[in-house]
Amino acid sequence: MIQKPKGTYDIYGDMGKKIRYIEGLFANLVEKYDFEYVATPLFEQSNLFHRSVGDSSDIVRKETYDFKDRGDRDMTLRPEGTAGVVRSYIENKMYGEADLPKKLWYFGSMFRYERPQAGRYREFRQLGVEVLGSPDPMMDAEVISIAVNLYRLLGLKGVKVRINSLGDKESRLAYRDALKEYFSKHLDDLCNDCKERFNNNPLRILDCKVDGNSDIIKNAPKMQDYLNAESVKHYELVKKYLDALDIEYEENPNLVRGLDYYTHTVFEVEASVEGFGSQNVLCGGGRYDLLVETLDGPHTPAVGFAIGIERLITALDYENIQAFEDKHLDIYVMPITEEDKEYSIGLSQALRLSGFSVDIDSLNRSMKSNFKQADRKNARFIMIIGESERNENVLTIKDNHTKKEYKVSIDELIDFLDDMMGECDCEECNHED
């Protein structure tokens, strides 16, 4: 038997319902912020990720799925969403449009070759937003508010925002020099990965999963001591806007994120979920004012975040939050004989085009089994089609909630169903025209 690749999973049943529900909730939320949808290819030229994510990042060094296409070109399955969106922004010349900043959101699969564990897969799905064209620190706070408000809408408790500033290019270079000088005295006490980071990007040492709690890391120089006046002003304004949005936050001077392109604000959103362990970071992002230029576009300040769907669903499960709506079926159609199926499928088609959800028996079940199937599907109405219904165009309809039966002519069917749906007090039975 052929099985799915390690670190992947099939989406069906409740998991499918949860993913669709969260995506829909997120789409409705970001539309309130005037975002528009964007989709980019699942694979891109490898150089896109080397130049954007950074050769020093663990993602590019260890985790990307790289391959040669038939034209001997280097390709990579996308490990994150921002680089592809920025490439699209540049290639499609969105920077020349009048409605800047461009506020974009996406949903899709990402791929990283890492050790599978709870809430972490080799193919995983992310929701994300990117705002391109605004340097305003107010936009940093607004982007953070989107993630926080999503978790509030889902009913998660104990949501915390952690923030830091990496400053502008000038501040980062000054801080990099300070870290190099400091860590040069402690290289023998650092892990092998950190020794490599020392040469490529010493900021990443602060995010080390091995030495992160050591005194060496804790006593390292702090970014705040190397921020220039402009960077301090930006960071202070972000905090003021978060206060205005009534969003609680904690400052974490060692927060750097795992991607090389960040500048100024970086943030993570966590949930204090019992039993959730180390997978409590639900969202991460920040500002990346230099990335568009790095990829040969015009100077474009930008900010965004990504949310891992699997980790979010794990948190919701631990909190016993049902992240999907129990759907009901409007009408279950039961043809009695083979001769009744042609009439039934035509009727089902007309009802679906009128806005009703309809299923029809295709397994030639007995009447008893069909009634059980209608109950399993939580069908509001059962429609029995036999010879008399076909000949007389008068349908037998059973209200599966009240158990009442009605005889309704085909010409009055839609009005009858609309009226009956409108009379029901059940939320799930409110029919949308």
Residue that is last in its domain, among 293, 318, 343: 318
Q: How far apart are CA 292 and CA 302, in angstroms?
A: 8
Residue 196: predicted pLDDT: 78
User: What residues of the chain score a pLDDT lower than 50?
Assistant: 428, 430-433
Residue 223 domain-assigned? no
User: pLDDT of 63-72, one tens digit each?
Assistant: 899 999 999 9
pLDDT at residue number 192: 82
Whether the full predicted model's pTM is greater than 0.85, yes or no, is yes
SS3 of residue 157 by DSSP: coil
CATH number at residue 244: 3.30.930.10
Domain count within the chain: 2
Domain identity same for 252 and 339: no
Residue 33 resides in a domain: yes
Question: So what's the pLDDT on residue 348?
Answer: 96
Q: Following DSSP, what letter does each residue of 325-381 receive, concatenated?
A: ----EEEEEEESSTHHHHHHHHHHHHHHHTT--EEE--S---HHHHHHHHHHTTEEE
Residue 425 and residue 278 in one domain:
no
Residue with tokens 């975002």: 35
pLDDT of residue 274: 74
Asked whether residue 49 falls in the same domain as residue 145, the answer is yes
Residues 120 and 163 in one domain: yes
pLDDT at 173: 87
Whether 383 and 236 map to the same domain: the answer is no
pLDDT at 426: 55
Helix, strand, coil in percent for the chain, rounding step 5:
40, 20, 35
